[in-house]
Structure 1
């Protein structure tokens, strides 16, 4: 009989008391899948792809947290079990198809299994974010939310030319300023590409940011630029410089 599997926590909060005005979230940090889930019917190669996690995002977020002394909330499990940046009633919360890949273990999911995943993975992460933001508000400390993500260079056969995208909705001033601080369009920095913030497909910005009256953006980095430790480190340094310049100017 196999030894009991050592399961990671659903959420890790790093540098909780960090002095930075920024709070970092990495909702798609991990591709970990418990053995009991049998890969949701997928092969090992699929569980290394973007459909399972945001490649490079955890490395960038961790380095950025250290560089700017910011708290960081990180997911412990694959987004295929449940996506932490989706409302639980969204069709993409527990996807039956991701990009063009069918996820057999998510097909016709029983209500009790859906509830189990919410309780095990979704709720602990969101509760950790709420506690952190509540504590900062009680201490009268600023909190600008930065979600760290990555995107594929090609999606469904269409090339994505941007090096990074800053996604925002109500935080127009901050979002535009961050894009410009990173070099703007001339440096292949897009605004609200390759995705847009929507209530039915996003959770972090609408719930943890806008509902609290906080500035909140998602940073999307092209995966081929952050897939190596060198690339991730370079982008963390670049983001740290841009964010610190904005903090000083505020």
Structure 2
């Protein structure tokens, strides 16, 4: 059984984080649109990659469940869709409250200054304030920043060949350990692909790099974790590799 540590409007916690453990942070783990928010879109879009990192919540949940006896892994998950508020963006980034995503207009995110401020206060600021408080209260040995990516964007026909990507900005300590471990699994690994952590790393810049906390930024291709079987494979793999990374960094 997964222990639900706590649930708020902005985030939910699986397990109990402990000092020296592994904390999964998943900024795009939910497609939930809370009451009072109208995005003005077809509800079917909420099941696509523009709304949620498909499979991530399942991987994180299984990682926590499989390690419930030791309690070494906990997970901090977004509790709203990235279309409501994208937690992995800087405050001045256009995609923070996206008005267009992969060619789809999001009219409910065209807000006045007051509406924008209220949305950010309710979700963005709450998420990051509480995450920082949690990290300070129980400093992990490693943060796993867990995301997934679509095999191909609607705006680009070229398929993405990588099974997994490793992202980082200035701090590449964990990345350098993890990349050969992932390659040893027979995987095609993108080093700063399909995205670069030099560009898309806002949450880890804020909570890890700014404080010297080791982190591993991971993007798993969504078709590999779209069902429970795939999620189980990747949960076991990521738990094992995260332990190896944390032990090497210690």
TM norm structure 1: 0.87
Q: Mind listing any 5+ residue stretches in structure 2 that lack a counterpart?
A: 1-6
2:82 to 57, 79, 82: 79
Shift of 1:240: 1.2
Between stretches 179-188 and 240-249, larger displacement belongs to: 179-188
| Unpaired runs of at least 5, structure 1 | 1-6
What is the TM-score with the length of structure 2 in the denominator?
A: 0.87
Q: Would the alpha carbon gap of residues 202 and 183 (structure 1) be closer, same or farther in structure 2, given more than 3 Å must change?
A: closer
Aligned residues: 237
Q: State the alpha-carbon separation in 1 of the partners of residues 91 and 62 from structure 2.
A: 30
Residue equivalent to 1:192: 192
Distance 1:179 1:222 in 2: 15
Distance in 2 between residues matched to 1:17 and 1:31, nearest whole Å: 24
CA-to-aligned-CA distance 1:64-103 (integer Å, 9 cap, x gap): 2333521211111111011011112111101111111111
Structure 1 match to 2:52: 53
Q: CA RMSD in A?
A: 2.0
Q: Matches of 2:125 and 2:53 in 1, distance apart?
A: 20
- C-alpha distance in 1, partners of 2:190/2:30? 25
Q: How does 1:147-186 map to 2 (within 5 A)?
A: 147-155=145-153, 156-183=156-183
Show the counterpart of 1:238. 237
Q: CA deviation at 1:20?
A: 5.2
1:1-250 to 2 correspondences below 5 Å: 9-18=9-18, 21-38=21-38, 40-68=39-67, 69-107=72-110, 109-137=111-139, 142-155=140-153, 156-183=156-183, 187-198=187-198, 201-249=200-248, 250=250
Which string of whole-angstrom CA distances, capped at 9 and with x for unpartnered residues, describes residues 121-173 of structure 1? 11221122111111124xxxx43221111000002222100001110122223
